[in-house]
Chains A and B, each alone.
Chain A
């Protein structure tokens, strides 16, 4: 089969949608500061508020409940930082920040921010997950007490795609008086997300995971929720996030969301069918593998698979030489020497994390891409296993 370039790392980031690009090119003309009263400023302001409405509508919120931020990580850090607001220091915050309850499979930005809270003396508790990466609801409920200030659980996992029952989690939290946040960076724009149905107080989303630009995201802050800015010094975003707005990025986010409303449903069906074919093809061609993540409650385009006796960095680099772009949970590719904390949290041994790759499909992928992966992957795994000291060739 002829070589081609196949980008199947859409959970890392996505190519810009051509329509988004067009909208952003037009917005480049609007250089006015959105805070300025003159017509230049008002032009930019109109663009931003238009984008805010689109984002709000898409997740069932009101425009005043949407604040734009510089990334999903910033959004998540902002929400967690609300807990650190000193008692009495801020009228809009809870008087006692309280403890944080989160999970073992969150994105590093949540885990690192929560670690920082813990080091500053706050109680931070982590709920475990089952072998599919589903949060153990009974264990989670046991962790939430009257002292819990915030429960933060991701809606869909970036590495294995598992989707959580946020509604049930939120109900548990609210019953004990805690606030609820969900990191929905991987979910919004891929599966239906409605803040009212989820019953959350905070939700984080990002543009570049859904064919929008890098460097912009949004946080849903339910009306009357306590809130404290992370970045201070300006009245922008209703005083919640200082800094001149990223007009260009925000327009890109708005357009990306607008397009998701049109394209998401059909695309999800298409990706799900392609993923099923890919999964079956891998299963048929390659022995001694295991799929990681929930078989049903999973993002439509995400497939995580682990190969016995094959190390992940070698896999992704051989795939890269064939033009195929994927990610791995191997320590060797992480820069940190630690394998995927998500795969370890599912109870699989470290070698499964080292030998795992994540294939994440997106709107530009075609059936030919799947054919190509199925053509090249088995040979690569065989090559690696042939030189592996940790793979006993099965007869």
Chain B
């Protein structure tokens, strides 16, 4: 176990059940302080449950959890006082204006009103929301509403920032703004935990990635290491391929077909040098036309799919 000084979140053998649903099943992981950590996993993997447990708004059945050195069960208030959060579900008052929602949040967090309002105006401008300040939230698009939640969370300079799918339906420009702000926070020592389904985004910005499935940790490492650990390379072949070809290429030794269409064949292989001549020979026998061949490493997204057992 790593030292408490370097660990922001420590979860050890945590179990949680909602009625008959086992949300967490012996989850164990550690989040280093000052890092940007992604939680990924299929729907129902236990990501949102974990976020709620960390904040102390939901209890757990057994195990040990510490957040910033505090126990969520008994010190939830102190944890929440040091944590900013963007929830997955829209936690806004739909019939109030954007500005009203921001003002309410400032008061609910007990922030200094004048200074926070000034900061809020700057953030709202950075996220392109200055023109909708007086509009009711219900009139905003899903992405705009999400950005209001992000702005509220960024009003704080917290030791811990938790974001549950923050960039869902947010435009690319605002995503970049968010990640730049988040990087500013991590450089000041803030730990950022975010859940996402956007694996390209995680590979690009995450320091660490934890892959969850069925309430358990499948693997946790840097996105690059995860791809390496899963191993293998990808052979991509472009050309013209008939439907009859498929039966012949699914049983090539050392190459597993993972994607195919009439213009593209994608194989996964642990020894592409050995597999490629066999693949080409089969295609030649079937009189397929090949226009391009490339070999590359497995991406984080492909590694993730293999880790969670998808196709």
A binds B: no
- Using a CB–CB distance below 8 Å, which chain B residues touch chain A? none
- Using a CB–CB distance below 8 Å, which chain A residues touch chain B? none
